[in-house]
């Protein structure tokens, strides 16, 4: 199927016990990285080793994404809004073109990656001709330092915001700065962008990189009632406390399911301190220095299953309806991206 996905009896049992009966009929994944080998063949091998997420998964074709989704969630119809792997060294123009072809075949609803230095006229032509749902800017386009202290407008300049506003499109935004959504400057710039570009649908990825609840708690305190003016995706967030916080303080219609495939297509658990997390996993990545006994690691299931259980448990724990659940997993994203109908079903297209 794919080098990233190996399903075990433990995974099957976990799915049956914690997920299967609660899974909604439709899943629309707002956050999937899609590319072909030739789009990243020029990236130095050493670059992938600079960050655990880069090493853990940086290649996923559309066909492999379909195969993974079908294997993970066989009882749901699965759609996705893909985008290129946003790394400076990659061939992003070719990757955008690949996703535009998939869009023409009605197989997904893609975002295009943009570089801050690209000419506005060329970006607009690609956006319109490719029928992209919006942009996926990324701090790495400006600096290769994770969590760098840069402005949102450094890697996603105003002229690109204005272009999205004119076409009433969306942006899936990965926040910079060490304090993430809790950073005063990030909050100020988010509010400024929303006010200046009111026709841009702003989707904040990873709950604002709030993998630990302290960031989301502080960020929502600073946003106050303005939080309802943004959408938030769940990509790569596993901590149950983050979901309890999000579901209690963000309008449920503003939360969108995202997986971050292929990054979390491996087996493990995540543990947290107040501000940091540690990934425990079975697979032998170079960063994986927190190994446990073979017996304990044999009980690990997919990180994506751990995430799905956290979401479903928090929805149940906080008393949400089946309609609310359907919104989180598909309907909210369709509204945010102004999509009217389901795309072609995945069954039988592999």
For 210-237, the pLDDT digits (tens) are: 999 999 999 999 999 999 999 999 999 9
Measured CA to CA, the distance from residue 112 to residue 164 in angstroms comes to: 12
- pTM: predicted TM-score of the whole model, two decimal places: 0.95
Confidence (pLDDT) at 350: 31
- Please answer whether residues 67 and 350 qualify as being in contact, where contact means their C-beta atoms are separated by less than 8 angstroms: yes
State residue 143's pLDDT score: 87
Given CA atoms 313, 318, 319, 320 in this order, what sign does their dihedral have?
negative
Cα distances from 20 to residues 15, 79, 262, in angstroms, run 6, 18, 21
In three-state secondary structure terms, 61 is coil
Q: Low-confidence residues of the chain, pLDDT below 50? A: 1, 345-350
Q: What CA–CA distances, in Å, run from 350 to 8, 64, 167? A: 22, 9, 33
User: Which residues, at least 6 apart from 18, have a Cβ–Cβ distance to it below 8 Å?
Assistant: 305, 308, 309, 312
Q: What whole-number distance in Å separates Cα of residue 66 and Cα of residue 93?
A: 23
318-343 burial: b if 16+ Cβ within 10 Å, else e: eeeeeebbebbbbbbbbebbebeeeb
pLDDT of residue 183: 98
Contact (Cβ atoms closer than 8 angstroms) between residue 162 and residue 125:
no
CA 88/CA 115 separation, integer angstroms: 8
Show the CA angle centred on residue 32, arms to residues 121 and 270, nearest 5°: 135
Per-residue model confidence (pLDDT) at position 301? 97
DSSP-derived secondary structure for 157-209: -HHHHHHHHHHT-EEEE---STTGGG-HHHHHHHHHHHHH-TTSEEEETHHHH
Paired residues of 67 in beta bridges: none
Q: How would DSSP label each residue in 101-136?
A: HHHHTTS---EEE--TTS-HHHHHHHHHHTT-SEEE
| 8 Å CB contact between 225 and 194 | no
The rounded percent of the chain whose pLDDT value lies above 70 is 96
Is 161 buried (19+), middle (13-18) or exposed (0-12) by CB count in 10 A? buried
pLDDT in tens, 152-166: 999 999 999 999 999
Distance between CA atoms of residues 71 and 50, nearest Å? 30
297 is written with which tokens?
């690691």
| CA distance linking residue 54 with residue 51, whole number of Å | 5
Which residues does 331 contact at the CB level (< 8 Å), separation at least 6?
A: none
Top CATH class of 9-336 equals alpha beta
Q: Apex CA 289: angle with CA 287 and CA 291, to 5°?
A: 130
């Amino acid at each position: 199927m794919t080098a990233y996905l190996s399903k075990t009896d433990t995974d099957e049992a976990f799915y049956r016990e914690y997920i299967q009966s609660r899974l909604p009929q439709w899943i629309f994944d707002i956050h999937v990285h899609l590319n072909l080998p030739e789009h990243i063949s020029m990236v130095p091998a050493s670059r992938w080793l600079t960050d655990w997420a880069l090493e853990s998964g940086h290649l996923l074709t559309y066909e492999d994404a379909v195969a993974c989704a079908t294997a993970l969630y066989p009882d749901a119809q699965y759609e996705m809004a893909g985008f290129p792997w946003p790394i400076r060294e990659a061939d992003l123009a070719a990757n955008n073109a690949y996703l535009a072809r998939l869009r023409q075949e009605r197989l997904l609803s893609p975002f295009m990656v943009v570089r801050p230095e690209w000419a506005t006229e060329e970006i607009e032509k690609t956006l319109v001709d490719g029928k992209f749902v919006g942009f996926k800017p990324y701090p790495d386009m400006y600096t290769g330092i994770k969590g760098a202290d840069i402005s949102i407008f450094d890697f996603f300049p105003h002229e690109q915001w204005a272009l999205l506003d004119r076409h009433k499109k969306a942006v899936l935004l990965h926040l910079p700065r060490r304090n993430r959504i809790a950073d005063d400057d990030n909050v100020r710039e988010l509010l400024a962008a929303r006010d200046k570009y009111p026709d841009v649908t702003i989707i904040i990825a990873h709950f604002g990189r709030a993998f630990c609840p302290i960031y989301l708690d502080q960020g929502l305190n600073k946003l106050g009632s303005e939080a309802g003016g943004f959408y938030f995706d769940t990509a790569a967030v596993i901590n149950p406390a983050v979901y309890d916080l999000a579901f209690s303080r963000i309008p449920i219609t503003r939360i969108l399911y995202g997986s971050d495939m292929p990054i979390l297509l491996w087996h493990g658990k995540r543990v947290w301190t107040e501000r940091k997390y540690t990934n425990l996993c079975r697979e032998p990545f170079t960063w994986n220095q927190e190994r446990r006994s073979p017996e304990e690691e044999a009980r690990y299931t997919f990180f994506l299953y751990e995430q799905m259980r956290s979401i479903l448990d928090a929805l149940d724990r906080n008393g949400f309806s089946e309609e609310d659940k359907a919104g989180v997993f598909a309907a909210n994203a369709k509204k945010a991206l102004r999509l009217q109908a389901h795309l072609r079903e995945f069954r039988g297209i592999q």
